[in-house]
């Protein structure tokens, strides 16, 4: 098929490259000329393993091109995939300004029948509204498809080429069949449904995954008080096929450009139809509080006196294998430490530049490596589970820290890693490892 993808963020770029890899002719459009120049020079504006190589191979093969010229791209394509941002407004609702603008630009460029497929995450009813907007602008025929995207950053190519399912929301059987055909080689689980249900599947999926994370984080918090180990609890729960093992990793809570924004948006979507989504409100509240467990542990260790201490931070991205720092828990944790007079030393293997730009404030000592960050610190907090941190020599780490205090916000280290070290170690929901492996589990008082 001849495809135009509008927006070269994660979703647009990865989809465009993967559709080219699958044998389609793809034009990726962005209104940001710097991004397009970079892409045309062989660069990639995001850190995503394998993407640069796959993009280069498809460009050389003549199946993939990049441009700012939306009009020309649309006129040369049968399928237009919209993948522009839908960031949160201060109210928590999705900001639809970019997608509405894109829809109008597509309408103005139309020169015949097109399928317009929206991959951006949009509130229920948005595709219909965009269709009306476009019909007010053009007499050209088109069909709307809701084509929600489920890729994860860091494993985006694998997720796109081997998805768990493809969801196609359509009100025209012919357009739906064309989309089924396009995705046929990827998975046997292709669900064709109505447009509103497809839009809801995306929000419901993210809300459910966020719920799993907040659930296991609360179990972890209880584990800390009753002397159980959340990693063992999660393993034991996960073998039950009805529960499943994934998204049961306790930590400092979820971040990123999707879960925080999409949970807030779904609460708003429900509110607009007079439904209070109480469960999801609690999920968000638990998540917001979870990141402050790191601070609470530091306060316990330092008897409430953080002022004047030096704290090293390992990991700024919201998860490993990405340089995305949108809604990363590290933003709030570092801000809180600075507000309380702590000297912060920070490092991330790939997300430093993005973090510095988004954080936008002075006062942090930015370091070039993991051991350098720990140098002379009173405590070290691990916030992102990059392999580089898991592979560190704890014996050497202990010698560079002023005090061997390690707060492992992602349960990266195991008991055997700590044996023979002097670390005062706090993890999440594993009280038997807290304050060093020598400490006994707390006594239960009934
Ligand atoms: N990031 C993810 O992992 C992910 C996964 C699934 C779904 N989503 C959803 O996909 C959508 C896109 O997310 P993202 O993170 O890829 O976005 P992003 O914000 O990183 O990138 C969006 C791009 O669209 C471009 N753009 C905006 N308006 C345009 C226009 N009129 N013409 C051409 N280009 C335009 C911007 O310049 C920008 O480069 C969002 O709705 C998001 O919720 C994201
Ligand atoms: O057991 C877990 C799993 C994840 N996380 C955290 O949850 C956040 C999100 O992680 P992940 O889902 O892997 O990354 P995203 O790239 O944000 O992907 C999510 O958001 C995308 C955008 O909507 C969807 O397409 C994906 O299906 C959905 O997984 C990160 O902060 C993780 O650290 C945990 O704390 N515990």
Give tens-digit pLDDT for 43-59: 999 999 999 999 999 99
Give the pLDDT of residue 120. 98
Ligand 1 atom at shortest distance from the alpha carbon of 148: 7
116 and 58 within one domain: yes
Span 270-282, average pLDDT: 97
Is pLDDT at 443 greater than 70 in this prediction?
Answer: no
Q: If you measure from the C-alpha of residue 12 to the centroid of ligand 1, how many angstroms do you get, rounded to a whole number?
A: 7
Catalytic site includes residue 258: yes
329 and 187 within one domain: no
Give the pLDDT of residue 12. 98
Q: Does the beta carbon of 74 lie inside 6 Å of ligand 1?
A: no
Give tens-digit pLDDT for 318-345: 999 999 999 999 999 999 999 999 999 9
> Best mutation site among 4, 6, 28, 30 for ligand 1, i.e. most ligand atoms within 8 A of its Cβ?
30
135 and 20 within one domain: yes
Q: Does the beta carbon of 165 lie inside 6 Å of ligand 2?
A: no
What percent of the chain has pLDDT above 70? Answer: 97
Q: If you measure from the C-alpha of residue 99 to the centroid of ligand 1, how many angstroms do you get, rounded to a whole number?
A: 9
311 and 284 within one domain: no
Q: Does the beta carbon of 251 lie inside 6 Å of ligand 2?
A: yes
Please give the Cα distance from 226 to 224 (Å, whole number).
Answer: 6
Spatial CB neighbours of 188, under 8 Å, sequence gap ≥ 6: none
185 and 230 within one domain: no
What total number of domains does the chain contain? 3
To the question of pTM greater than 0.80 for the whole model, the response is yes
CATH of the domain at 337: 3.40.50.720
Give tens-digit pLDDT for 202-245: 999 999 999 999 999 999 999 999 999 999 999 999 999 999 99
The answer to whether residue 300 is domain-embedded is yes
Q: Which two tokens stand for residue 172?
A: 């025209």
Is pLDDT at 440 greater than 70 in this prediction?
Answer: no
Q: If you measure from the C-alpha of residue 111 to the centroid of ligand 2, how many angstroms do you get, rounded to a whole number?
A: 39
Q: What residue numbers bound the domain in which 263 lies?
A: 202-288
Q: Does the beta carbon of 70 lie inside 6 Å of ligand 1?
A: yes
Give tens-digit pLDDT for 89-143: 999 899 999 999 999 999 999 999 999 999 999 999 999 999 999 999 999 999 9
pLDDT grade for 277, boundaries at 50, 70 and 90: very high
Number of other residues whose CB lies within 10 A of the CB of residue 303: 7
Please give the Cα distance from 294 to 312 (Å, whole number).
Answer: 12
Give tens-digit pLDDT for 157-176: 999 999 999 999 999 999 99
The answer to whether residue 171 is domain-embedded is yes
Give the pLDDT of residue 432. 77
297 and 402 within one domain: yes
Q: If you measure from the C-alpha of residue 121 to the centroid of ligand 1, how many angstroms do you get, rounded to a whole number?
A: 9
379 and 296 within one domain: yes
Give tens-digit pLDDT for 404-433: 999 999 999 998 889 889 999 999 999 877
| Per annotation, catalytic residue among 28, 258, 367, 381 | 258
Is pLDDT at 439 greater than 90 in this prediction?
Answer: no
396 and 338 within one domain: yes
116 and 6 within one domain: yes
Q: Which two tokens stand for residue 358?
A: 């988004």
Edge-to-edge strand ranges of the sheet holding 343-347: 364-366, 343-347, 310-314, 379-382, 405-408, 424-426
Ligand 2 atom at shortest distance from the alpha carbon of 256: 17
Is pLDDT at 437 greater than 60 in this prediction?
Answer: no
Please give the Cα distance from 152 to 162 (Å, whole number).
Answer: 12
The answer to whether residue 330 is domain-embedded is yes
pLDDT grade for 273, boundaries at 50, 70 and 90: very high
411 and 299 within one domain: yes
Kindly report the average pLDDT of the chain as a whole number. Answer: 95
Please give the Cα distance from 42 to 62 (Å, whole number).
Answer: 14
What percent of the chain has pLDDT above 90? Answer: 94
Q: Does the beta carbon of 102 lie inside 6 Å of ligand 1?
A: yes
The answer to whether residue 440 is domain-embedded is no
Spatial CB neighbours of 101, under 8 Å, sequence gap ≥ 6: none
At how many degrees (to 10) do helices 278-290 and 259-272 cross?
Answer: 150
């Amino acid at each position: 098929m001849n495809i135009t993808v509008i927006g070269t963020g994660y979703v647009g770029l990865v989809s465009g490259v993967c559709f080219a890899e699958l044998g389609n002719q793809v034009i990726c459009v962005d209104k940001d000329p710097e991004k397009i120049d970079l892409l045309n020079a062989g660069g990639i504006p995001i850190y995503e393993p394998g993407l640069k190589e796959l993009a280069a191979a498809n460009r050389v093969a003549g199946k993939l091109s990049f441009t700012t010229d939306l009009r020309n791209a649309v006129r040369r394509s049968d399928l237009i995939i919209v993948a522009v941002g839908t960031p949160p407004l201060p109210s928590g609702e999705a900001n639809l300004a970019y997608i509405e603008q894109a829809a109008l630009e597509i309408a103005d460029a139309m020169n015949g029948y097109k399928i317009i497929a929206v991959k951006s995450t949009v509130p229920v009813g948005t595709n219909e509204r965009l269709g009306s907007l476009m019909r007010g602008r053009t007499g050209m025929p088109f069909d709307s498809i809701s084509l929600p995207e489920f890729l994860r950053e860091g494993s985006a190519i694998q997720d796109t080429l081997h998805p768990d399912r493809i969801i196609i929301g359509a009100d025209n059987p012919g357009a739906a069949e064309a989309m089924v055909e396009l995705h046929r080689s990827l998975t046997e689980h292709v669900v064709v449904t109505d447009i509103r249900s497809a839009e809801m599947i995306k929000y419901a999926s993210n809300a459910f995954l966020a719920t799993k994370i907040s659930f296991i984080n609360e179990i972890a918090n209880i584990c800390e008080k009753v002397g159980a180990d959340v990693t063992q609890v999660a393993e034991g729960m996960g073998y039950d096929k009805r529960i499943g093992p994934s998204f049961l990793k306790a930590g400092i809570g979820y971040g990123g450009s999707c879960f925080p924004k999409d949970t807030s948006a779904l609460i708003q979507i429900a509110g607009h139809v007079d439904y209070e989504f109480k469960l999801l409100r609690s999920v968000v509240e638990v998540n917001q509080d979870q990141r402050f467990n790191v601070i609470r542990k530091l306060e316990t260790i330092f008897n409430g006196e953080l002022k004047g201490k030096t704290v090293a931070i390992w990991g700024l991205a919201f998860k490993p294998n990405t340089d995305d720092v949108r809604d990363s828990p590290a933003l709030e944790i570092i801000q809180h430490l600075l507000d309380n007079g702590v000297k912060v030393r920070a490092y991330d293997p790939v997300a430093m530049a993005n973090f510095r730009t988004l954080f936008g404030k002075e006062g942090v000592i930015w370091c070039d490596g993991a051991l350098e960050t720990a140098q002379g610190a009173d405590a070290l907090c691990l916030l992102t589970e990059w392999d580089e941190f898991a592979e560190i020599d704890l014996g050497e780490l202990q010698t560079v820290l002023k005090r061997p205090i390690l707060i492992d916000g992602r349960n990266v280290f195991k008991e055997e890693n700590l044996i023979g070290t002097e670390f005062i170690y706090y993890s999440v929901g594993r009280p038997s490892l807290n304050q060093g492996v020598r400490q006994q589990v707390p006594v239960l008082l009934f």
